[in-house]
Amino acid sequence: MKTVIDSAVTETLLYHEQTKHHFHRYARSLGFLDWANQPNPFRSYEGVTPVRLPLLQKDSASEHLALYERNRNTFQGFTRETIAAFLELSLGLSAWKSIPGSTWSLRMNPSSGNLHPTEAHLILPALPGVTASVFHYNSFLHALEPRAEVSETLWQQIKEHLHTDGFLVALTSIFWREAWKYGERAFRYCQHDVGHALAALSFSANLLGWKVTWLNALSDEEIARLLGFDQTRWPEFELEHSELLCFVHRSEEQQIPRDLPAEIVSGFSGLEFQGTPNQLSKDHVDWEIIPRVAEATAKPKSTEGAFAASGRPGLPDTTRPFYAPTAQSGIPAAQLIRQRRSAVAFDGVSSITKNQFCTMLDKTLPRDDCAPFDLGLTVSCVHLLLFVHRVTGLEPGLYFLLRAEKDLPVLQQKCHRHFLWRPVDGALPLYLLQTGDYQSTATSVSCQQSIAGDGAFSLGMIARFREELETAPWRYRHLFWETGMIGQVLYLEAEAQGVRATGIGCFFDDPVHELMGLADDAFQSLYHFTVGGPREDARLATRAAYHHLDAPAR
Ligand SMILES: Cc1cc2nc3c(=O)[nH]c(=O)nc-3n(C[C@H](O)[C@H](O)[C@H](O)COP(=O)(O)O)c2cc1C
């Protein structure tokens, strides 16, 4: 077993090294966009009759903090309507944009290159208007595509095991969607996107009084069996890879088993799956390192406790009160979800206050009983290296938000000796490393993208790396999920503070490490992000999310 894991770790580290962008060389990709083969952003399962879902006619009035705090939301029963609302406000369409000659859709969840490699599948019990089945969620139609009926007995087994009502939701990735544009680095982007989608699901569930719990003990292969992937005829290069399975249940239920027994998993092997996945592109490029890293990071069966979010030292104070809770945004939670957009440019002048800055950062800290970090990913491994440009009340410079206290001594030892590590605000684990103007540095390490220097602040997400992977290479994917979840929080928090954010997957890896003085791979930068005053593109026309359906448009 050890040698199998060792070679998977080697393969994973090799992928990571090989897909770094360098000042003088980008990770391997085609280098141009093959428009004739641009993947269809919508997967559908042909040959089945979709169950159309209703669109929300009115959003809940829950306020900003209801995104996070569970006790602000009352439980709504599991029905076709509430499950529709859950999906609409997490993975549904949010708008259509166009410029002369081009039209594209946007979704509640962001995606690198707007390519949307993440798909969702649900396993639902029998509900009025719904037969208990495994479904694929089709966001274009806002519909559930039934793939296999689940018998009453099988669902009862699931319910008895999980001790409570609810349903299952799985996320999968189609690597080709991202590889079409990004080549070998695509696997990383897919994992970021899973993290964003996961946080989006957790927020949307919370507004209904529901909680999303990751069933962390399952293997990827078991999830594939539950979804009937072993019985599916995939178009070449376009198969969906299982990422994770979650149980969605009442928020008050705390003790959810994090596994499904083998009898239940094998019960799904006996189901008859229908529907043929649509072909997304005519031709493909075989980036063979991607299936290799997918295999190396495939999660085997584990015990539930192996990745529990407690019981390991160095946990932050998860019960800390929110930073400046009385100064939260007046924008309702559902509105924040709907209006979230990526900024394409910043004005280079807008600033935010220190209070706003800390309010945003504070939401990225995990707390007990608060979405989204209570879904049980693991203890935090990801910190924020902050390039502060325009935050009134803070000197411009390099700052650090420590999301896992245990890493402080080792970071201090591995980073430049001249870093100050001066605490900034007693209420947050925020440190000043060095004052100075980091606008051009931030732009330069983010692949020369001016959005990283023109905003109020930008950041690199610095993950505890080698130690996490050494015995469990599949943790590589989990680290990226954590970064995506942090990103989703920052997207919504930027909207709440009247500014805008953008995820940055294109950055120069090692120059960020050099900037910090990191000489080995104990820590690695896995994702960048930027926040600032947006400059709107006046050429863009907007249409309602579901204007193409016969449902009343919002
Ligand atoms: C993982 C990830 C990486 C991204 N990287 C970049 C980037 O490097 N540069 C950029 O301008 N936008 C980047 N974006 C923003 C996407 O282009 C944007 O999410 C997508 O176009 C959809 O638009 P929306 O976020 O407004 O829905 C990234 C988004 C994600 C989720």
pLDDT digits (tens, 9 = 90+) for 449-501: 999 999 999 999 999 999 999 989 999 999 999 999 999 999 999 999 999 99
**CATH (one of 1.10.1130.10, 3.40.50.1220, 3.40.50.720, 3.40.109.10) for 81-92+116-302:** 3.40.109.10
Tell me the two tokens of residue 79: 């029905």
> What confidence score (pLDDT) does residue 442 get?
98
> What confidence score (pLDDT) does residue 328 get?
81
> What confidence score (pLDDT) does residue 551 get?
56
Q: For residue range 23-52, what is the model confidence (pLDDT) as tens digits? A: 999 999 999 999 999 999 999 999 999 999
Q: Is the pLDDT of residue 316 over 90?
A: no
Average pLDDT over residues 312-324: 63
Q: Is the pLDDT of residue 554 over 60?
A: no
Average pLDDT over residues 295-314: 68
- For the chain, how many residues are written? 554
Helix then strand then coil, in percent of the chain rounded to 5, is 35, 20, 45
The residue extents of the domains of the chain are 81-92+116-302, 325-532
Mean pLDDT of the chain: 95
- Evaluate whether 122 touches 168 at the Cβ level (below 8 Å): yes
Q: Which of 384, 360, 370 is nearest to 320 (CA)?
A: 370
Q: Whose CA is nearest to atom 9 of ligand 1?
A: 504
Q: Is the pLDDT of residue 402 over 80?
A: yes
Question: Does the Cβ of 114 fall within 6 Å of ligand 1?
Answer: yes
pLDDT confidence tier of residue 310, bands split at 50, 70 and 90:
very low
Helix boundaries (H) for 348-474: 354-362, 408-414, 439-445, 466-469
What CATH number labels 325-532?
A: 3.40.109.10
> What confidence score (pLDDT) does residue 5 get?
86
User: Which atom of ligand 1 lies nearest, measured to the CA of 340?
Assistant: 26
Q: Is the pLDDT of residue 2 over 80?
A: no
Q: Whose CA is nearest to atom 2 of ligand 1?
A: 112
Question: Does the Cβ of 452 fall within 6 Å of ligand 1?
Answer: no
Mutate to test the pocket of ligand 1, among 504, 509, 537, 542 (most ligand atoms within 8 A of CB): 504
Q: For residue range 338-397, what is the model confidence (pLDDT) as tens digits? A: 999 999 999 999 999 999 999 999 999 999 889 999 999 888 999 999 999 999 999 999
> What confidence score (pLDDT) does residue 305 get?
64
User: Minimum mean pLDDT among 259-263, 410-414, 536-540: which range?
Assistant: 536-540
Q: From ligand 1's centre to the CA of 477, what distance in Å?
A: 19
> Same CATH fold, 325-532 and 81-92+116-302?
yes
- CA 50 to chain CA centroid, Å, is 26
> What confidence score (pLDDT) does residue 86 get?
98
Question: Does the Cβ of 111 fall within 6 Å of ligand 1?
Answer: yes
Mutate to test the pocket of ligand 1, among 450, 502, 527, 528 (most ligand atoms within 8 A of CB): 502
Q: From ligand 1's centre to the CA of 342, what distance in Å?
A: 6
pLDDT confidence tier of residue 252, bands split at 50, 70 and 90:
very high
pLDDT confidence tier of residue 313, bands split at 50, 70 and 90:
very low
CA dihedral 388, 394, 399, 403 (to 10 degrees): -110
Q: Give the burial class of 233: count Cβ atoms within 10 A of its Cβ; 0-12 exposed, 13-18 middle, 19 or more buried.
A: exposed
Q: For residue range 131-179, what is the model confidence (pLDDT) as tens digits? A: 999 999 999 999 999 999 999 999 999 999 999 999 999 999 999 999 9
> What confidence score (pLDDT) does residue 291 get?
98
User: Which atom of ligand 1 lies nearest, measured to the CA of 344?
Assistant: 11
Q: Is the pLDDT of residue 255 over 50?
A: yes
Mutate to test the pocket of ligand 1, among 111, 500, 528, 535 (most ligand atoms within 8 A of CB): 111
pLDDT confidence tier of residue 318, bands split at 50, 70 and 90:
low
pTM score over 0.95: yes
Q: For residue range 197-211, what is the model confidence (pLDDT) as tens digits? A: 999 999 999 999 999
Q: For residue range 110-129, what is the model confidence (pLDDT) as tens digits? A: 999 999 999 999 999 999 99
Q: How far is CA 281 from CA 35, 75, 111, in A?
A: 10, 42, 19
Helix boundaries (H) for 215-297: 220-226, 262-269, 289-296
Q: From ligand 1's centre to the CA of 506, what distance in Å?
A: 10
User: Which atom of ligand 1 lies nearest, measured to the CA of 447?
Assistant: 8
Concatenated DSSP letters of 18-62: HT-BBTTBPPS--SS--GGGPPPS---EETS--EE-PPPSS----
User: Which atom of ligand 1 lies nearest, measured to the CA of 106?
Assistant: 27
Q: From ligand 1's centre to the CA of 214, what distance in Å?
A: 25
